[in-house]
Amino acid sequence: MSLLTPELGLLFWMLVAFGAVVFVLVKFGFPIILSGVEKRKNYIDESLLIAKQAREELARVKADSQALIDQTRREQSEILAEAAKSRDMIIGGAKEKATEEAAKIMEAAREQIALEKEDAIRQIRREVATLSVEISEKVLREKLDRKNSQMDMIDRLLDEINIPKS
């Protein structure tokens, strides 16, 4: 029966021991552990959320940069095409101009040549005329030593001049 009757002394010690344990552990023990676990749990949740956001951000940035690259490529090809076009245009224009210029120069040269040629021909003619006059003078001087021959000569010359005129 003594097993079923609580002993006063043991009750006292139990109150002391259990009271101390409850006081210390409820005040300094379990709340700290539980809040520590809670803190860590929140930290992990937060970190996971942040990581997820970072991943999404990264994906978005990647997509953005891809789009940017694509656009840049497009622009680049456009610019290149434009450049080629304008180059062709410039070259074409230059060619035309050059041809024109060349034609002009040729024309000028041709004109110059023609002028020179005429000049030269004129000079030659003049020379020839002078020469022929001199020669004819000499010839005439020799031939006109005689009177009648002089007269013949004049007549013949006159005939010659008249014939082509008629």
Partner 1 sequence: MKRLLKIFPLLIVVLLMITTGLKANEPAAAEVASHPAEEAGTLNVKELILEHLGDTYEWHITTIGESHISIPLPVILISKTSGFHVFMSSAFHHGHESHNGFYIAHEGDFKGKIVEKDATGQEIRPLDFSLTKNAASLLISAILLIVIILLIARSYKRNPLEAKKGFVGMMEMFILSVYDGIIKPGVGKDYKKFAPYLLTVFFFIFTNNLLGLIPLFPGGANVTGNIAITFVLAVCTFLIVNITGTKEYFKEIFWPDVPMWLKVPIPIMPAIEVIGVFTKPFALMIRLFANILAGHSIVLGLVCLIFVTVSLGIPTNASMTVVSVIFTIFIDFVELLVAYIQAYVFTMLSAVFIGLSHVEAHHHSEVRS
Site for partner 1, rule CB under 8 A: 2-15, 17-18, 20-22, 24-26, 28-37, 39-40, 43
Nearer to partner 1, 4 or 163 (CB): 4
Q: How far is the CB of 49 from partner 1 (least distance, A)?
A: 16
What's the rounded Cα separation, in Å, for the pair 65 and 68?
5
Sign of the four-CA dihedral 78, 80, 84, 86: positive
Residue type, 142: E
Task: Count Cβ atoms within 10 A of the Cβ of residue 144 and give its class: 0-12 exposed, 13-18 middle, 19 or more buried.
Answer: middle
Taking the complex as a whole, the smallest distance from the CB of residue 24 to partner 1 amounts, in Å, to 5
Task: Please report how close the Cβ of residue 8 comes to partner 1 at its closest, in angstroms.
Answer: 7
**Rounded least distance, CB 20 to partner 1, Å:** 6
Which residue, 27 or 126, is less far from partner 1 as judged by CB? Answer: 27
**Closest CB to partner 1 among residues 4, 161:** 4
Instruction: Please count the other Cβ atoms lying within 10 Å of the Cβ belonging to residue 29.
Output: 13
Tokens of 59: 């994906």
47/130 with CB nearer partner 1: 47
Name the H helices within the chain: 8-24, 30-143, 147-165
